[in-house]
Every structure is written in C-alpha cells, then in structure tokens.
Amino acid sequence: MQLSGLIGADFVDGRGNVMIGANYSDRNIIFGKDRPWVSAGWADPGTQGGGIGSSNLSQFTPSGANAPTAGFPLLGATYGIDQNGAIFDPSNPLNPARPYTGPLGGNSGFKINPDGTLGYDEIERNYLQLPLERYSIFGSAHFDLAENLQVFTDIRFSETYASASGFTSGVFNVWSPTVPYNPANDDPDSPTFGQAAVDHPVPRAFADLLNSRPTPNAPWTYVGGLDYLGNFTTQTTSNVYQVIGGLRGDIPFGNSLMNDWSWEVYASHGKSTVLAQQPEGFPYLPRLQNLFNANQYGEGYAVTFPIAITGSCTTGLPIFNPDGSVDNTPSVSKNCSDYVVLRMNSITTLSQDVIEGNVQGGLYDLPAGRLQFALGGVYREENFGFDPDSGYNANQDYPNVVQNIILPVTVDGSTDVKEIYAELAIPILKDLPFVKSFEVDPGVRYSEYNTAGGVETYKVLGDWAVNDWVRFRGGYQLANRAANVTELFTPKGGSALTTGTDACANYTQTAVWGNVPGNSNRLNVQTLCQYLMVREGAPPTLYVPGTASANDYRYNVFGGQFYFPFVIGVTEGNPALESESADTFTAGVVFNSPFDHPALERMTLSVDWYQIDITNAIGTPNHDVIYQQCLDAQYNSLVGGAPGSSTGAQMAANNPFCALIQREYVGGVPLSPGNLGADRKYSAQFINQGGINSVGIDIQLDWGLDLADAGIDMIPGSFSMNILASVLDTYEESPFPGGDFIEYTGSTFNSSFNYRLFSTFGYNNGPLAVGLRWQHLPSIDTPPGTPATTFGVESHDQIDLFGRWSFFERYELRAGIDNLLNADPEIVGASTTDNNLGSTSANYDTIGRRYFVGITAKF
C-alpha cells in the first residue's frame, strides 16, 4: 500500500512558492510456501534439500580418542538421533540396518536428497519478500529577492523499517557444546535412571552408543539446529535527511550576447543513520553451554549470583525429555530465549556535505550559432562510521556469537574531494548541403581526492544533423572514479551466504579444472589444495596428493561427505584501493520518418553502439572465480606444468587469488568435524580487478498511429508502440591487473544476456489509456569453467497490463496486473544430479501475478 500527498502555494504576490509533500508505503511479507514454484522444489525427489543443521534433529560427533565401539561405519562424521530416538547416519539415512525413522515430505521439511543424504528445508521460514515500511516528507521553497536573484531551499526526510530473516542458527564445529553424561543416571535402562541431582537423559539407542566408548561417562559433543530460538533476524531502521540552501540568478550584462548568463551557488548537508537490531537468532555460546550443563538441559535453571543480574530458563532446551525420549517441542519459554539470545544493536552513519557553484551562458556568436559554456566547482566530504554492539564485536577472547565466524570492529573513515569543471558547446557548421547542423561538445573535470590524489576526466561529444530525418551522434569520454567510503571502510565481517563448489573436493559438481579424474593437471591441483589446507594449520597427512585421502576428498564443514554448496564471503573495505577509470566510445544514428503517410510519419528509430573499457575496476571477487583463478591451469600456469615441477607454495604465489582462499581447520584429531580442511569461507575484500570490457548496441523504435488514419473510424483514439532492444556483443573481465580477460557473454555471470527485449504497446483515447508491457529474456548458458553437468537457463517472457482513466478533471484512476500470465521464474543452477526446483535469480519475478489500483485527486 502507498499513500502520497502534495500541496503548494504562491506567496507575496507570486514572488515566492512553497511546496510540501509526504509519502507512506507499507509492504507485507510473502512466504515461499505460498508460491507453487518454490514448494515444488521441496516435494521434488530430484531437487537437493538444505542441510539438516537448521532442523531440530540432534547429532553426536564422536571423538577419535573416545569413539564408540558399538557404532557403525559413517559416510559422514556425525550420528543422527531422529524424532523417535533411532540412531542413523545423516549421509546414509536409507541404510536398512540403521534407517532414519522420522517424518519425510509434507510439511515436515525433511526429504531424501538425490545424492541419498537426508535434507531439510525451512518451509515455515522461507521468505520471498520481506516486510518494509517507509515514511518520507519533503519541502521546497524559493523566493525572489530581486529581479535576478532568488533564494531557494529543499528539505527531505525519510524513515524506513525493514526486517530481514536468515537461516536458523545451529551449533557445530567450534560452537558445539559438550553434554555431561553418566550411564548410571542418564541411561533409561539403568536402575538408577533419573535419580541424580543433575540429569541429562538420552534415548536408549543413543545410551547404548555412548556406553560403548572406552570412557563411557565422558561428556559427548552435541551438534544440532536451534530452530526453537528463531532465525537469524535483523531489523533495520534507516533515517535519512538532507537540507539544501542556496542562491541563483541571472547576470544582466545588458547586451544580447551575455544576457543569457545564469549562476547558482548552494550548500547541502545530509546524513543517513542505520540502526540494525538483532532481536533473535543470535545465541551466546557460554550461556547455551550453561543450559546444557544444567539439570534436564536447563529446565528450571536460574542464575544464583546475588548481585545485579538475572537469568533463568523455565522450560529448558528441547533436546531430550526426562524419560529419555526426543523432545520435539518447537519453542522454549521466553525467559529461556531472553537468557540465551543476544539482543544486539549496531549503528552505521554516513554523512555528506557539499558546497557547489556553477555559471553558464553564451561566449561568442559564431557563424553556425552561439558558443556556450558551463563552469563550476564543488567541494564534497563524506564521513562513515560503524559502531557494532559490544556483544557483536571482534574484541573478544572467543567467537561466542554462534555461527558468526568473523565479527566486526568499530570503523571510522572520511573522504573529501575538490573538483572544478568546464564544458563548451561549439557550433561548427549549419545550413549546408548534408549538414543541417554540426556541434562539438568538449568538457574537462579535475578532481583532487584526499585518498586517491588528483585525477582528470574529459569528454568530446559530437552531434551531426544531416537533415530533419537523419542525425548522427557519438564521442569519447574518459571517466575516473575514486573508491567510496563503503569500498574503503566497510568493517570486516561475514556477508550473506553464497553458493560455490569446493574445487579441492571430488564431487560430481566439481568443475573440470578441479580435483576430478578427467583433469590432466589433477596431481598439481591436489598439491596446491594440500598447501592451502596446511597453510591454515592442517597436517600434511590430511590430504596427500595421489592417494585416496585426496582423490576421494569430499568433506564439508559439518564433517559429512555430502555436497554442501554454501560458503561465506568475508567482506572488508580496502583503504589501499586505486581509482578506477573507464574509456567509453559511442556512435549512433537517429532516424525520424521522412514520410507524410499517417502510418509512417510518427516513426523514430535510434541505434547506438558503445564500447566501455574499465581499468582497475573496483569490486569483490566471488567464490568460484577465486578458486578457478587459483587452481585452473588456464589462469595459473604453474598448475599446468609437469606433476611435481612446482610446490604448492610456488603455485599459490603464482596467482594472487590463492591468497583469498580460507580453508577451515581448527585442530585436533584429523577427520573429525572442524578438522577437515574444508571449504568454509573466502576473502571478499574490495579489490582493484584487472578490468571490464563491454561492447553492445542499444536500439529503440517508437511508432504511433491514429486509428482513424488507418481506416478504423469506428474506434476512436490512437495506438502506440515502443520497443527497446539491448544487444550485448562482448562482456569480459580480467580478475586482476595483468590477468587474462575471460569472456562471459551469453552466460549467467553478471546476467550477461546476449540481448534483452522490452516492448510497450498502448492505446490512448483522451482520458483513457491502456498499455501492455512485454519483457523477453533469452536462454543463457553457464559461465566458463562451470561443470558440464550444470544446465543453463531457459528463455523467459513476462507480460504486464496497466491502464489509467482521468475523470471530472481532478481525478485519475490507475490499475494494472503485473505478471499477467503468472509466469514462474526460470530455474537457475539445475544439473544432472539436482533439478534445483525453487531456485532462481533476481532477473525473474518471484512473486507472481499481482494487482494494483490507485487514485490521484487534485484539490
């Protein structure tokens, strides 16, 4: 819903004007379960589900030094305890000897994945559209102080509230709590079961497993989801204001040449303040461990320290019931949640101050017209600050915020720039054969940044009108952009989860240049992967090139061998960034219809070619590009050498992207969770990439026709058509300075479609107008280096219907249907082993058919 209003008035006999406007919008939440294209993926046996780490299942991680002898071989590294208390292998849930006996399908969220593992989808917490509420108000005014002097001001304010919800928190790896265990009191088959002051009952089958350990009364390591504490949730309140004030006027020189000079001077101050609150989903590990240590997993727990603090948990954690059965309760008491979950507040501020002055007008009357100029200068300063909550700050002894690997620190930074510019409009020729007019527009700008130093930009544009029907245009521009405060000073921290395949592992999804049998450079790839793991503290014996430990390596961060395509990009600003520059060449032609026939006289066609070459492009690398640059012999020449001709360290030093890889190794006994050298995160720091080159053509066709002129007298009004086509001939990137360019045209990388088509057809009859929009996106392939088992994306069409009706001179009614045919988004990421239903990209509408109606009233 959206409401807006605008009111204005003149004052002091028309010398001044004031205008005030306000807007309110409210957007509701939309769940994935309400869209069939999403739920189809949950029900499809050929679509991989998510990991069970976000479910309510409990898991046990055996210790290599105290492993149970009554266990059974695991494909993964944890034993699962299902809802009925049965012990099973999450990586092999259909094992007839030890099967998973819990629910499957329906609304349970559990399913058997195509690779045979147990999967879980958060059906009730899958969001397609998050709620958002916004208020805004603005006011502007101007007043004529004198005939050629005006004062003006503009004031704007907005407040936006949005709630974002991520996945469910879970405890594993360094966040796995330990659970006390005493067979005499915690085994349901023990005659003294439940008779101790502090009990931690477990299911019978699980007790048999724990009792078979060499030290049966040792604590056990818990792994599991914390769905009863809610998803990771961030509620963001943004306040933005801007105040502008200045003077403008004309310079009355009193002669025909200079009487069109005008000037403007203004100052602006603006500030954005973002309060990010985390009300749920961020458990604090020490308090969570306290509840696991307490009787009945914290039931009735209360802090006993007598001064200033409180903390209690009425229900305890829903792990196991007093009789040893599984506790499947989906929630805990509020005091329990209040005790465990950190309620955090972080503040980000960004302010900008601007002082700018401009003057423009005519300089000299040339034979072809008046020479005009524009001249100006500006000073701009930006200040950035980020202050994280003390509980969400990296200045801690241990990563106690569960599942948050990289915690931020306080960041402050500022940039400022002084700029001057000058532009000319030079008429060269006019009213000659084949030259109705010819004009050249040069311009230059000098910018002095406190971070990047001085840079120049300039342009030379030309416009040649052959006659009333044909016009040519084009030119060259050199642009420079210094890094902004976000790119310079973003605090170090984990970004949202991204997808990626571990190229050091031998999955069916692994790229052909990775650790797969068909790669002729496999031994060198394994040597490099071994180095990357050892660099993070893993022993060399964990991953030995040419042996089964490397050939069959499939471990993920959970300790299992199932495919887990999710990684974390560790974002961070980079104060050492250099400015990026862009050379842009354009050439185009505009045709206006030379015909007088009613069917052709309102036709216009424009065709514009462009070539954009960006050097030192500022960006953040993605996971798969980093791994391909490091491990693919096409980009790391030493990997293509004879096996053993280079060490892992030498190969890593041969491509700078190897330094961005961060394997996961905690230490301890190898082949237990957290000690597997797994693909967990990568550095997504802002860097200067080598460059980006793009070449394409933009085409626009406009046409209109009065129906009466077409002989259709019985239908009043006119028909119009607008067709926009954008054709991409080349899109390529070089990941680092001096690196080779990689061609991505026609691939999903950066949504590099070969072309895009956007058409609008309209009918207009006085106060009534109806239109139809058609958007077409062609099919698109996977990027270079993607496994051959991954499919591209099908073509897509979407149609929107809209209209308006003006009546009683004061009112206008608007209505329409977006996505008229309810077209589902295209599936992105499908492969021979995973249908990937329910997964798409931002190129496609995920909401489906929806209606809108609005009315405008003038008073």
Give the dihedral of Cα atoms 288, 289, 292, 297; nearest 10 deg.
Answer: -30
* Domain regions of the chain by residue span: 2-25+130-167+234-278+346-487, 48-119+168-221, 285-331, 492-579+618-685
pLDDT level of residue 569 (50, 70, 90 thresholds)? confident
**Cα distance between residue 481 and residue 584, in whole Å:** 14
Backbone angles phi, psi at 779, to 5 degrees: -65, 160
**Cα distance between residue 581 and residue 477, in whole Å:** 10
**Cα distance between residue 360 and residue 348, in whole Å:** 39
Assess whether pLDDT exceeds 80 at residue 127: yes
pLDDT tens-digit map of 599-652: 899 999 999 999 999 999 998 888 888 999 999 999 999 999 999 999 999 999
Cβ proximity of 526 and 550 under 8 Å: yes
pLDDT tens-digit map of 336-380: 999 999 999 999 999 999 999 999 999 989 999 999 999 999 999
**Cα distance between residue 616 and residue 630, in whole Å:** 20
Helix, strand, or coil here: 640?
helix
pLDDT tens-digit map of 469-526: 999 999 999 999 989 888 888 877 655 567 788 999 998 889 899 999 999 999 999 9
Query: In sequence order, what are the beta bridge partners of 816?
Result: 802, 852
Residues sharing a CB contact under 8 Å with residue 837, sequence separation 6 or more, in sequence order: 37, 40, 41, 44, 46, 47, 827, 830
Run of H or E residues at 189 = none
pLDDT tens-digit map of 378-401: 999 999 999 998 888 877 777 788
Query: In sequence order, what are the beta bridge partners of 21?
Result: 6, 138
**Cα distance between residue 583 and residue 754, in whole Å:** 22
Cβ proximity of 37 and 838 under 8 Å: yes
Cβ proximity of 422 and 373 under 8 Å: yes
Angle (nearest 5°) at CA 679 between 673 and 680: 75
**Cα distance between residue 641 and residue 662, in whole Å:** 24
Average pLDDT over residues 731-740: 88
* Selection from 531, 476, 494, 342 nearest residue 407 by Cα: 494
Q: Which two tokens stand for residue 630?
A: 């490091």
Look up residue 397 and give its DSSP letter.
S
Least confident of 15-29, 61-75, 580-594, 680-694: 61-75
Run of H or E residues at 96 = none
* Selection from 71, 80, 74, 94 nearest residue 51 by Cα: 80
* Selection from 584, 593, 590 nearest residue 607 by Cα: 590
Cβ proximity of 129 and 153 under 8 Å: no
Backbone angles phi, psi at 812, to 5 degrees: -140, 125
- Which amino acid, one-letter code, is at 193? F
**Cα distance between residue 131 and residue 29, in whole Å:** 5
- The confidence score (pLDDT) of residue 469 equals 96
- The rounded mean pLDDT for the chain is 91
Run of H or E residues at 464 = strand 453-465
The better pLDDT of the pair 306, 260 is held by 260
Strand residue runs (E) in 219-343? 220-225, 231-250, 262-280, 301-302, 312-313
Per-residue CA distances from 16 to 21, 140, 256, 265, 743 (Å): 17, 11, 28, 19, 57
* Selection from 77, 61, 272, 28 nearest residue 676 by Cα: 77
- The confidence score (pLDDT) of residue 675 equals 52
Terminal Cα-to-Cα distance of the chain (whole angstroms): 22
Cβ proximity of 505 and 440 under 8 Å: no
Task: Please state which CATH number belongs to domain 2-25+130-167+234-278+346-487.
Answer: 2.40.170.20
Average pLDDT over residues 226-234: 88
Per-residue CA distances from 347 to 236, 353, 411 (Å): 10, 20, 11
Assess whether pLDDT exceeds 90 at residue 736: no
Chain mean position to CA 689: 19
Per-residue CA distances from 596 to 32, 229, 444, 466, 764 (Å): 54, 72, 43, 19, 22
Residues sharing a CB contact under 8 Å with residue 189, sequence separation 6 or more, in sequence order: 204, 207
**Cα distance between residue 714 and residue 718, in whole Å:** 12
> Angle, to 10 degrees, between the axis of helix 522-535 and the axis of helix 623-631?
120
Chain mean position to CA 632: 26
- The confidence score (pLDDT) of residue 403 equals 75
Burial 461-472 (b: 16+ CB within 10 A, else e): bbbbbeeeeebe
- Which amino acid, one-letter code, is at 243? V
Give the dihedral of Cα atoms 446, 611, 840, 664; nearest 10 deg.
Answer: -60
Handedness of CA 786, 788, 790, 791 (dihedral sign): positive
**Cα distance between residue 606 and residue 708, in whole Å:** 27
Look up residue 283 and give its DSSP letter.
B
pLDDT tens-digit map of 261-293: 999 999 999 999 999 998 888 899 999 999 999
**Cα distance between residue 125 and residue 134, in whole Å:** 24
Least confident of 72-81, 347-356, 438-447, 458-467: 72-81
- Which amino acid, one-letter code, is at 443? G
Which position has the token pair 């060490």? 647
- The confidence score (pLDDT) of residue 174 equals 77
Cβ proximity of 296 and 318 under 8 Å: no
pLDDT tens-digit map of 665-721: 755 444 444 456 777 788 888 999 889 999 999 999 999 999 988 888 889 999 999
pLDDT tens-digit map of 179-225: 999 999 999 999 999 999 899 999 999 999 999 999 999 999 999 99
